[in-house]
Amino acid sequence: MDIVRVTPDDTATVDQLVGLSEAIVKVDCPWEHPFTRTRLTGMLRYGWDGEPPEQYAGVLEGHVIGSARLWTSDYDNLDLAWFDLGVHPDHRRRGHGTALLAAVTERARELGRSSTGIGGWESAATRGFAEGAGFTFGQEEVARRLDVDDVPDGFAELVDRARRDHAGAYEFLTMSGPVPQELLAQMTDLQAAINDAPWDDIDMEPEVFPIERLLGYEQAQAASGRRLHRVIARHSATGELVGHTIVAVSGERPDYGDQQDTTVVREHRGHRLGIVLKGLMLDYLRRVEPQCRSFDTWNAASNDHMIAVNEAMGFHVTGRSLAYQRKG
């Protein structure tokens, strides 16, 4: 197997990577949505928030049978690299995953990264591969999906009651597309509130979110074919932005939404803002994206508060993933 770096302009190899994603999802996580060309190309150009990953392909006899993606940031966690690895189900247990891991590990060292992370769907294969390579378990994450038709009876009343009885000191802004210029400076602090989400035994320093990173995120999502929708909580007395939730809807799969963030600034917790934000988002999407019938979200298994909110909405578990980390 040859390992080659892939650029977003290499459309033939990108298309093979899309086919590889489809084959992997079919076997490992059939509830997931595989990459499309638009989504993968956008990610390779802009990453998640303006910092694209390095993409490598494992090629055997002219066919892409493996993928290795290396993520780093120049904003924070300057010692860390994170790997996404995948091997075609027909070519597993032949050393290809190990070879891909060795290649991106060496590249991470060249970049000066002394800590590396890897993850995969919960399975004996994931555990065996990660532990065999010297990684230590750090966190379990849980994927959940909400089918709009399955939102429990009474949820809207629960949201109304929370807004009336607990969140009366706040107003809520709904918007689609880029954040207005006049709100960007405040959004940097609000976005950083996500650092309170649990990382369990994964060693991560707090992330930082300067305005250019927020703009990079919006550009990256648009390039991947996603439309962004937000609900933001603002403290009426001070004008401070104190909570938000974001959902991205795929232009190629408009029946599907991706819950990308929900967070509340620590000093304003205890006012049921999380459930109000998500309830108002559900109402907003019913108006602006009525064809969207399901949404996916991720939480650390230890994030009891947000899990309780999601379960009250009717989210159900689709899968669990395991994250590992290795030093040196």
Q: Is the dihedral of CA 59, 52, 198, 177 positive or negative?
A: negative
pLDDT tens for each residue of 261-274: 999 999 999 999 99
Distance of CA 2 to the CA centre of its chain: 30
What band does 211 get if pLDDT is binned at 50, 70 and 90?
A: very high
Q: Is 185 exposed, middle or buried (0-12, 13-18, 19+ CB in 10 A)?
A: exposed
Is 171 a residue whose pLDDT tops 90?
yes
DSSP for 240-303 reads -EEEEEEEEEESSSTTEEEEEEEEE-GGGTTSSHHHHHHHHHHHHHHHH-TT--EEEEEEETT-
> In the predicted model, what is the mean pLDDT of residues 164-192?
96
- The HSE-up count of residue 303 (CA atoms within 13 Å, CB side) is 23
pLDDT in tens, 251-263: 999 999 999 999 9
Hey, what are 268's tokens?
């304003």
Is the CB of residue 126 less than 8 Å from the CB of residue 322? yes
Enumerate residues 6+ apart whose C-beta is below 8 A from 165.
Answer: 272
Which two tokens mark 46?
A: 């802009």
DSSP letter for 122, please. Answer: S
Instruction: Give the mean pLDDT of 175-184.
Output: 96
How far, in whole angstroms, is CA 87 from its chain's centroid? 21
Query: What's the mean pLDDT in 180-200?
Result: 94
Instruction: Give the C-alpha separation, 66 to 79, whole Å.
Output: 26
Q: For residues 126 and 118, give the distance between their C-alpha atoms in angstroms, rounded to a whole number.
A: 10
pLDDT at 22 over 90: yes
Confidence grade of residue 295 (pLDDT, cut at 50, 70, 90) = very high
- Say if residue 328's pLDDT is above 90: no
Instruction: Report pLDDT for 125.
Output: 95
300-318 pLDDT per residue, tens: 999 999 999 999 999 999 9
Are 115 and 94 in contact by the 8 Å Cβ rule? The answer is no
Q: Average pLDDT, stretch 13-33? A: 97
Between CA 131 and CA 324 the distance in angstroms is 8
Percentage of residues in the chain with pLDDT exceeding 70? 100
Average pLDDT, the chain: 96
What average pLDDT does the segment 139-143 reach? 97
Q: Residue 88 pLDDT > 90, yes or no?
A: yes
Q: Give the whole-angstrom CA distance, residue 321 versus residue 282.
A: 26
54-79: per-residue pLDDT in tens? 999 999 999 999 999 999 999 999 99
- Which pLDDT band, with edges at 50, 70 and 90, does 51 fall under? very high
How confident is the model over 174-202, as a mean pLDDT? 95
Identity of residue 120: G
Give which of 58, 117, 118, 121 is closest to 90, Cα–Cα: 58
Beta strands 2-6 and 54-60, pairing class: antiparallel
Tens digits of residue pLDDT in 104-116: 999 999 999 999 9
